[in-house]
Amino acid sequence: MDRKYSQGGNKKGSGKPAYGSKGPAPKFKSGPKGGARPAPKAHTTNARDNYERDDLIEGRNPCLEALEAGRSINRIMIAKGTHDSTIAKIMHLAKESHIPLQEVDRTALDKISVVGSHQGVIALAAAKEYCSVDDILKRAENLGHAPFIIILDGINDPNNFGAIIRSAECAGVDGIIIPERRSVQVTPVVAKVSAGACEHMMIARVVNISSTIRELKEKGLWIVGTDGSAPQYYKDVDYTAPIALIIGSEGEGMSRLVMSNCDHLVKIPLKGKVNSLNAATAAAVVMFEAVSQRSN
């Protein structure tokens, strides 16, 4: 790869969502290498309607991560009789930040919970602040490394999205780009599945994924798409270069237009009888190949 990276300036496809391909293991060369939210549970009260659902942070680790990340929180509700070291830390940080604490009956939390496993604590927070794509690139520049970005093309399962955020944060990804429409956003379920990682991950929403990809290419990034019918294996790409990795939707993979804008299409070799990996697992496999290459 010899594309020059520059910080400055500005229908569904036929791709298979399998994210993998059976067949003999590839021989790798040494040296440089070329959802929609689930339907809410039925309830007889309108208690949940008094809250903006996307502003709820549910569970002990997500609430703790939100506090440690400096998220703007309006109030924290804790179930009566809930006491352990994590709850104690949440209460301590809340008091330090002058965030009101409210002790309530557990049934009150059950009524407003979206996730269904609040673990005795729910924080009412300001809505998730999305960033710009330039903010993500600026982060990489400030850290002094080639940008590493994840682009999600139509991920609709909040569990997949949350898992991808968690893996991305662990892998040192600079940021995630999602479309404003036809894609799951950061919801309480996503936050819970990410185990609080969404509080530390920059996430940008864009109107048009294909236009954003073209702008990233103009700035020197190489675009790598995952597809089960790809001509090369995921380890045959140089991830030390400025990279944007695209993960397609769970059902239909990348759109045709997005696929046509990729510099590389890659697949993961599979040996079992099941012919695909889910989006979150495939994303993690490729992300940590990038981590391995960037650590050498």
pLDDT in tens, 184-199: 888 888 888 888 888 8
Quick check: 20 and 283 in contact, CB under 8 A?
A: no
Cα angle for residues 255, 26, 234 (degrees, 5° grid)? 35
Q: How far apart are CA 120 and CA 271, in angstroms?
A: 43
Q: What's residue 160's pLDDT?
A: 93
Average pLDDT over residues 41-61: 59
Quick check: 103 and 80 in contact, CB under 8 A?
A: yes
Residue 180 CA from chain centroid, whole number: 14
pLDDT over 90 percentage in the chain: 50
Cα angle for residues 5, 6, 7 (degrees, 5° grid)? 125
How would residue 1 be classed by pLDDT, with cut points 50, 70 and 90?
A: low
Q: How far apart are CA 181 and CA 196, in angstroms?
A: 24
Count Cβ neighbours within 10 Å for each residue of 103-141 and write b for 16 or more, e otherwise: eeeeeebebbbbbeebbbbbbbbeebeebebeebbbbbe
Going from the N-terminus, what domains does the chain have, and what CATH number goes with each? Answer: 21-35+129-295 (3.40.1280.10), 53-125 (3.30.1330.30)
Is residue 180's pLDDT more than 80? yes
Is residue 229's pLDDT more than 70? yes
What average pLDDT does the structure give for the chain?
83
Of residues 211 and 57, more confidently modeled: 211
